[in-house]
C-alpha cells in the first residue's frame, strides 16, 4: 500500500537531505563491519590480501576543457572518494572504507571476449538468462535523460527491499502527480569523454511497452561508472538485468562511437556493499577489487 499524502512531503528539499543522510548512514552500518566482509569476499575472489591490489590509473579530465568537465568530473571525484578509503593507509580507512569494484575494459578485445569470460564464470547461465529475456519480448536501448521518470519511480518501488538492504521509500510513497514520462529521445553527448547515458529495458506487449529495468552510466576521462542499475521486482526472474548489462557491454566494447572509445575502466560501486547477491553479480561479471590512483582525478 502506498500513501498519496506522503508524496507532497517527498519533494521537500529538507526531507530529501535528511533521507540522503539516513541512506549514507544505513549503507555504512547495515553491512558493518566491513573488514570481515572484505576478508570473506576477497577469499571468494581468490585475492590474496597480503599482496597489493592492482591500481587503476583514473584520469578524469585528460586534455579536455569542455564545459561538461565542471559537472561530471566533480561528480565522479565524489564517487571515487568513497571508494579509495580502503587503500589501507589508516585504520579508519580499513574500518569504514570500501574497495572499488572495477572491470578493466581495455583488456577486452571486443564484446565476445567479455562474454566468454562471463560464460565461463557462470557456466553459461547469464548468457542463457539474457537470451531467455530476449525471447520473452524484452529489449534494451538508450533513452533520454529523465525521460522515464515516473516509470523509474514505479520500478524502484516494485520491491520493498533491495540488495543494499534499504527499505525503498518509493514502495511506500505514491509518486507525485508532477512526475511524468516525457519520453524525450536521447541526445548525443557533446563531448566523447564527458557524458551520461541512460539505458532502459522494456517489455513489449500488444498494449505497448513498459520499462522494466534502468541504468545510468557516467563517463569522465578514461573511466565510466554505473550510477544506477535497477530492475523491476516482477521481471528479475525473466533475466532482464542480464539482458540489460549484456547490451550495455556490447555497446561499450563495440567502441563504434567516439564516446565509447578510450575507456580503460568500468566502476561498479564497491566489493563490500550490498548483500551476497549483489556481490555475486559483480563477481560473475568480472569486477575485481582495485585501488584507485586518483592523482590525475582533478
Ligand atoms: Zn570533455
In the reported structure, the alpha carbon of residue 71 is separated from the centroid of ligand 1 by a whole-number distance in angstroms of: 10
Dist. CA 47–CA 291, nearest whole Å: 13
The pLDDT value recorded for residue 295 is: 59
What confidence score (pLDDT) does residue 87 get? Answer: 58
Per-residue confidence (pLDDT) for residue 44, from 0 to 100 = 96
Cα–ligand 1 centroid distance for 79 (angstroms): 18
pLDDT at residue 170, rounded to an integer? 77
Q: How far apart are CA 139 and CA 239, in angstroms?
A: 11
Find where cell 589508516 sits.
90
Extended strands (E) in the chain:
55-59, 100-104, 138-143, 194-205, 208-220, 223-231, 265-270, 288-296
Q: How far is the CA of 62 from the centre of ligand 1 (A)?
A: 9
Instruction: Please tell me what DSSP assigns to residue 136.
Output: T
How far is ligand 1, taken at its centre, from the CA of residue 250, in Å?
23
pLDDT given at position 86: 57
Contact 196, 144 (CB under 8 A): no
| Residue 256, SS3 per DSSP | coil
Q: How far apart are the CA of 146 and the centre of ligand 1, in A?
A: 21
Full set of structural domains in the chain with CATH: 31-148+183-296 (3.40.630.30)
246, 215, 213, 237: which is closest to 130 by C-alpha? Answer: 246
Q: Give the pLDDT of residue 8.
A: 59
Cis peptide before 33 (omega within 30 of 0): yes
The answer to whether 115 touches 130, Cβ cutoff 8 Å, is no
* CA distance linking residue 205 with residue 223, whole number of Å: 37
10's enclosing H/E stretch is helix 6-10
Q: How close is the Cα of 195 to the center of ligand 1, in Å?
A: 8
Other CB atoms within 10 Å distance of the CB of residue 169 = 16
Contact, 294 vs 79, CB < 8 A?
no
Expressed in angstroms and rounded, the spacing between residue 279 Cα and the centre of ligand 1 is: 32
What is the C-alpha separation between 213 and 202, in angstroms, rounded? 7
| pLDDT given at position 6 | 60
Q: How many CA atoms lie within 13 A of 158 on its CB side?
A: 18
If you measure from the C-alpha of residue 121 to the centroid of ligand 1, how many angstroms do you get, rounded to a whole number?
36
Look at residues 226, 234, 166, 240 and name the one whose alpha carbon lies nearest to residue 198: 226
Cα(58) to centroid(ligand 1), Å: 15
Residue 102 has what pLDDT? 97
User: In the numeric block, which cell numbers belong to residue 29?
Assistant: 552500518
Rounded to the nearest angstrom, the distance between the alpha carbon of 111 and the centre of ligand 1 is 25
CA of 298 to the centre of ligand 1 (A): 13
Report the pLDDT value the prediction gives residue 287, as an integer from 0 to 100. 98
Task: Tell me the CA–centroid distance for residue 258 and ligand 1, in Å.
Answer: 12
Q: In angstroms, what is the span from residue 59 Cα to ligand 1's centroid? A: 12
The contacts of residue 24 (CB under 8 Å, 6+ apart) are none
Low-confidence ranges of the chain (pLDDT < 70): 1-11, 27, 85-91, 294-298
- How many A from CA of 219 to the centre of ligand 1? 9
Which residue is associated with the grid cell 533521507? 19
pLDDT score at 52: 87
Amino acid at each position: 500500500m502506498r500513501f498519496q499524502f506522503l508524496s507532497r512531503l517527498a519533494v521537500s528539499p529538507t526531507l530529501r537531505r535528511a533521507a540522503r543522510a539516513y541512506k549514507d548512514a544505513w549503507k555504512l552500518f547495515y553491512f558493518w563491519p566491513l573488514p570481515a566482509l572484505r576478508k570473506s569476499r576477497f577469499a571468494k575472489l581468490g585475492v590474496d590480501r597480503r599482496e597489493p591490489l592492482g591500481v587503476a590509473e583514473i584520469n578524469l579530465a585528460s586534455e579536455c576543457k569542455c564545459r561538461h568537465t565542471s559537472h561530471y568530473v566533480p561528480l565522479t571525484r565524489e564517487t571515487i572518494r568513497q571508494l579509495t578509503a580502503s587503500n589501507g593507509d589508516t585504520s579508519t580507512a580499513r574500518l569504514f572504507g570500501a574497495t572499488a569494484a572495477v572491470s578493466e575494459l581495455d583488456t577486452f578485445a571486443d564484446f565476445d571476449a567479455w562474454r566468454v569470460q562471463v560464460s565461463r564464470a557462470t557456466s553459461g547461465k547469464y548468457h542463457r538468462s539474457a537470451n531467455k529475456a530476449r525471447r520473452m519480448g524484452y529489449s534494451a536501448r538508450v533513452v533520454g535523460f529523465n525521460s522515464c521518470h515516473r516509470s523509474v519511480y514505479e520500478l524502484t518501488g516494485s520491491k520493498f527491499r533491495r540488495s543494499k538492504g534499504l527499505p525503498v521509500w518509493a514502495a511506500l510513497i505514491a509518486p507525485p502527480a508532477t512526475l511524468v514520462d516525457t519520453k524525450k529521445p536521447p541526445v548525443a553527448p557533446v563531448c566523447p569523454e564527458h557524458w551520461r547515458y541512460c539505458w532502459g529495458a522494456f517489455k513489449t506487449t500488444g498494449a505497448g511497452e513498459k520499462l522494466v529495468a534502468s541504468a545510468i552510466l557516467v563517463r569522465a576521462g578514461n573511466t565510466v561508472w554505473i550510477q544506477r542499475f535497477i530492475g523491476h521486482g516482477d521481471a528479475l526472474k525473466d533475466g532482464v538485468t542480464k539482458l540489460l548489462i549484456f547490451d550495455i557491454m556490447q555497446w561499450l566494447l563495440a567502441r563504434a562511437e567516439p564516446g565509447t572509445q578510450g575507456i580503460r575502466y568500468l566502476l561498479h560501486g564497491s566489493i563490500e556493499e550490498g548483500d551476497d547477491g549483489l556481490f555475486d553479480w559483480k563477481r560473475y561479471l568480472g569486477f575485481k577489487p582495485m585501488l584507485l590512483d586518483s592523482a590525475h582525478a582533478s
